[in-house]
Amino acid sequence: KAGVTQTPRYLIKTRGQQVTLSCSPISGHRSVSWYQQTPGQGLQFLFEYFSETQRNKGNFPGRFSGRQFSNSRSEMNVSTLELGDSALYLCASSLAFERGRQETQYFGPGTRLLVL
């Protein structure tokens, strides 16, 4: 079974631009979560989508948004990029049952975003 895939793997943008990152979960997985990893703040939860609905959101400004499609693929968008948005953005998928039974999250390789 193919793992979680993320595109693109590397991205360079300038301040003020916007960016869209894509995540394809493992086949059959319905939940997709996004995390930001930086040297200073470590790994931080951004948001989680299940059945095309945002179920959970971390403590990030509204410039960070996401969505999930009917095939469970997910995108996240960052508008008006700032230098501090430079990070590795990780996507994780899990089977996820409606009642929130804990399922293992499987991570993709990440998209490394550099904002100049």
Please report, as ranges, the residues that interact with another protein according to CB under 8 A. 4, 31, 33, 35, 42-45, 48, 55-56, 58, 90, 92, 94, 96, 99-100, 102-110
Min CB(85)–another protein separation in Å:
19
Min CB(69)–another protein separation in Å:
19
Min CB(16)–another protein separation in Å:
28
Min CB(6)–another protein separation in Å:
8
Residue 81 vs 93, nearer CB to another protein:
93
Residue 75 vs 103, nearer CB to another protein:
103
Output 66-69 pairs: Cβ under 8 A, ≥24 positions apart: 66/34, 68/32
- DSSP code string of 50-112: ETTEEEEE-S--TTEEEEE-TTS-EEEEE-S--GGG-EEEEEEEE---TT------EE---EE
C-alpha to C-alpha distance for 91 and 99, rounded to whole angstroms: 22
Residue 16 vs 61, nearer CB to another protein:
61
